[in-house]
Amino acid sequence: MTTLTIAAQDSTTMIGRELKHTLRFPLLLIGSILGPVVFLLLFVYILGGPIGNGLGAAARGAPYVDFLVPGIVMMTVAAGSGTTAITVCTDMTTGIIDRFRTMAVSRGAVLTGHVGGTVLRTLITTTVITGVALLVGFRPQASVAGWFAVVGIVAAFAFALAWLSVALGLGAKSVAGANSASLPIQFLLPFLSSAFVPAGSMPAGVRWFAAHQPFTPVVESLRALLTGAPLGNTAYLALAWSAAIALAGYLWARAGFRRGTR
């Protein structure tokens, strides 16, 4: 066997380990579904009326739920980062990681396992969220190719945030700290993007930030694909941001992993 096939085999083993964890503790999934569902219901049934009326041209005449759901899907992707940071930190604070390090296991396999597990978990949670969204009146207009593109962008963004959360989990001193470190990803960045309202409706400083931060092209491209609106260059921007975050997260995680045990 070559080094590469061993690395692939070890990574697959570690992804399997993450999936077993998820099956044993569905809370790892439910935790990242519950929050977005609450926001979905809150915005559709309570806050959505006046927001929808104020959207005007941005909604292109569609109901607010169609504007909102791509944002909720993106928020679901982000919600997974908390779970990832926590599970990575748990691994690092127990002896299991030292066991892996003293075995002839390919070095990064435990991290790629977490990343792969995160992406698979995210595909499950976003599917569930989309189902709930359909129940509350979401009517997507996407073509088959559009749906594939949606899955692709969700997976790419999940992959990027997974590496970032792995790095956060490696850097955190405690499980609680790992969770707090991921809160900006879970809540701050989605709210300061065009997930809930168009960036153009925000105050000047926030508007600039919202227009230039990675979550905005992700949500805009998902929205364009799901509502059948013109895509523009948002999908490329979303993928470019995902690649950049993934690379930065990977390098940061690698440095954190090399620093060794606590």
Among 8, 17, 41, 124, binds other proteins (CB under 8 A): 17
- Please give the Cα distance from 116 to 14 (Å, whole number): 9
Which residue, 105 or 149, has its beta carbon nearer to other proteins?
105
> Coil, strand or helix: which one is 192?
coil
Shortest spacing between CB 95 and other proteins, in angstroms? 3
Query: Do residues 35 and 186 lie in contact, with contact meaning Cβ atoms separated by under 8 Å?
Result: yes
Residue 115: other Cβ atoms inside 10 A: 28
User: Which one of 16-24, 52-60, 122-130, 225-233 is the stretch in contact with other proteins (CB under 8 A)?
Assistant: 16-24
**104: contact with other proteins by CB under 8 A:** yes
Applying CB under 8 A, does 213 fall inside the site for other proteins?
no
Give the side-chain half-sphere CA count within 13 A for 255. Answer: 9
Least CB distance to other proteins at residue 210 (A): 38
Pick the binder of other proteins from 100, 187, 191, 209 (CB under 8 A).
Answer: 100
AA letter at 183: L
Q: Which is nearer to other proteins, 105 or 199 (CB)?
A: 105
Please state, in angstroms and rounded to a whole number, the distance separating the CA atoms of residues 175 and 173.
Answer: 7
Among 26, 49, 56, 94, the residue binding other proteins under the rule CB under 8 A is: 94
For position 174 contacting other proteins by CB under 8 A, the verdict is no
List 21, 114, 121, 223, residue binding other proteins (CB under 8 A): 21
Residue closer to other proteins by CB (options 17, 207) is 17
> Nearest CA to 245 among 209, 214, 220?
214
Q: Do the Cβ atoms of 195 and 215 come closer than 8 Å?
A: yes
d(CA 181, CA 168): 7
Q: Which residues contact other proteins (rule: CB under 8 A)? A: 1, 6, 9-10, 13, 16-17, 20-21, 24-25, 94-96, 98-105, 260-261
